[in-house]
Amino acid sequence: MHRWTDDTERLAREILEYVRTRARLDPVPLDGPRSADELRRDAGATVTEEGLGGSEALRVFREVLAPACLSVDHPRFLSFIPAAPTEAALLFDLVVGASSIYGGSWLEGSGAVFAENEALRWLADLAGLPEGAGGVFVQGGTLGNVSALVAARAAARGRRPAPPPRWKVVCSEHAHSSLDHAARVMDVDLVAVRPDADGRLTGAAVAEAMDDDVFAVFATAGTTNFGIVDDLASVAAVCRERGIWLHVDGAYGGAALAAASARPLFAGVEHADSFTVDPHKWLFAPFDCCALLYRDPAAARAVHRQSAGYLDVLEGDEWNPSDYALNLTRRARGLPFWFSLATHGTRAYCDAIETTLAVARFAADEVRRRAYVELLREPDLSVVVFRRTGWTAERYREWSRRLLDANVAFVTPTVHEGETVTRFAIVNPRTTRSDVSMILDTMA
């Protein structure tokens, strides 16, 4: 198993050929879910005492398992928040996997950590965070958010001799579900305030909800359902006045910091104490990758660093990524993103994000132009939410299922204020105007 043999050589060719073929499909089939019974029947026994051999295991994956996984990078996969990794990032993911890099400490992975930090610095500069800012790439926005809030609470504890009966986080009703999860895990309360008429969390609403038990304000730069960027400047002003930690969740929307046309929406993000953005969403990296940045990394390190006799040897090193989140062993998951940035340059990123924003604006125009659909809100970023007049929830589900079964598109319904509607989340620069028009035509 641990020696390179002729069989391994053959398997390497087959795997690389699979990767080349998958990457070159244009477009890749959308594929779709199957039941466990169907998969069991078609895959047969896969974990056996003697093993299937690499070629056969790869065949099962290629013919049975892979087609049962939706292709999130399909240009007409417009549900949830899709992904659209660059070819360079995808290919480099193979290199990361093949290199057995331990990305938790400087001692073991200095080259990788250095490169990841270069990529983090680009993001920190986009947000206007100070020179001393830094952090770590974690698995996803969920882990980024909880890690940031744990740091925020620790900082508040350090400032208060007597803890309040219940710690609280102020957020908008539109904050991502991962915040609710974080609050449950941390056993803290959420004070969810109603956003303004335009859907934004504002400083005024935050000020009203504030009391002595609040340790953090959680603002969103690009809500999941609508792509709304909270009024970060007014929220930040309240946080600064009261000395409260501001976390900005830019898991989806933070990428648009790179787009000149959207940058003004983010005014105030430079005051964030912590900031997250997922390169696996709109920054063209493969799963899974969230950039977690702190204004003052020492505050995060104070709570996240693990200590034990066997870790003492790491103490005092340049930068140990594990010290900044709920993790110890970690894949250097920022490397595919770094490699793609290094390959293509930042301008290509800015242009690609502008492309998706332009297609989203086109989609909004197309919705406005058609009598049978209605735009719910002018998009801030690249999420376009609309209703098909007269449709029930069931009708949306049928339509969505039909599009997927026909390998046309993956567009799911969502719920807004009790009403079932639908949305396009566009992060793939290869999603075209005609893709959008064609999907809207199917609703006529």
Ligand X SMILES: Cc1ncc(COP(=O)(O)O)c(C=O)c1O
Q: What are phi and psi of 422, to 5 degrees?
A: -140, 170
Instruction: Tell me the residue type at 284.
Output: F
Is position 428 an interface residue for ligand X (rule: CB under 6 A)?
no
Is position 327 an interface residue for ligand X (rule: CB under 6 A)?
no
CA nearest neighbour of 189 among 158, 207, 219, 216: 216
Report 170-189 residues binding ligand X (CB under 6 A).
Answer: 176, 178
Is position 248 an interface residue for ligand X (rule: CB under 6 A)?
no
Binding mask 57-76 for ligand X (x = CB under 6 A): --------------------
Is position 224 an interface residue for ligand X (rule: CB under 6 A)?
yes
Q: What are phi and psi of 15, to 5 degrees?
A: -70, -45
CA nearest neighbour of 188 among 135, 150, 162: 150
What's the Rg (C-alpha) of the chain?
A: 23
Is position 84 an interface residue for ligand X (rule: CB under 6 A)?
no
Asked if residues 119 and 337 have their Cβ atoms less than 8 Å apart, the reply is yes
Instruction: Tell me the residue type at 221.
Output: A
Q: Pick one of 117, 220, 274, 355: the residue that binds ligand X (CB under 6 A).
A: 220
Is position 322 an interface residue for ligand X (rule: CB under 6 A)?
no
What's the min distance (Å) between Cβ of 263 and ligand X? 18
Is position 278 an interface residue for ligand X (rule: CB under 6 A)?
yes
Q: Pick one of 78, 115, 188, 290: the residue that binds ligand X (CB under 6 A).
A: 290
| Cβ proximity to ligand X, 64 vs 216, nearer residue | 216
What's the min distance (Å) between Cβ of 252 and ligand X? 4
Is position 227 an interface residue for ligand X (rule: CB under 6 A)?
no
User: Which part of the chain contacts ligand X (CB under 6 A), choosing from 16-24, 230-238, 249-257, 388-396?
Assistant: 249-257
Q: Pick one of 78, 81, 303, 439: the residue that binds ligand X (CB under 6 A).
A: 81
Q: What are phi and psi of 81, to 5 degrees?
A: -120, 115
Instruction: Name the pairing type of β-strands 245-249 and 419-425.
Output: unpaired
What's the min distance (Å) between Cβ of 441 and ligand X? 28
| Exposed / middle / buried, residue 358 (Cβ in 10 Å: 0-12, 13-18, 19+) | middle
H-run or E-run covering 134: strand 134-138
- In this structure, what token pair is assigned to residue 180? 């609710």
Q: Pick one of 109, 134, 141, 227: the residue that binds ligand X (CB under 6 A).
A: 141
Chain contacts with ligand X (rule: CB under 6 A): 81, 140-142, 176, 178, 220, 224, 249, 251-252, 278, 290
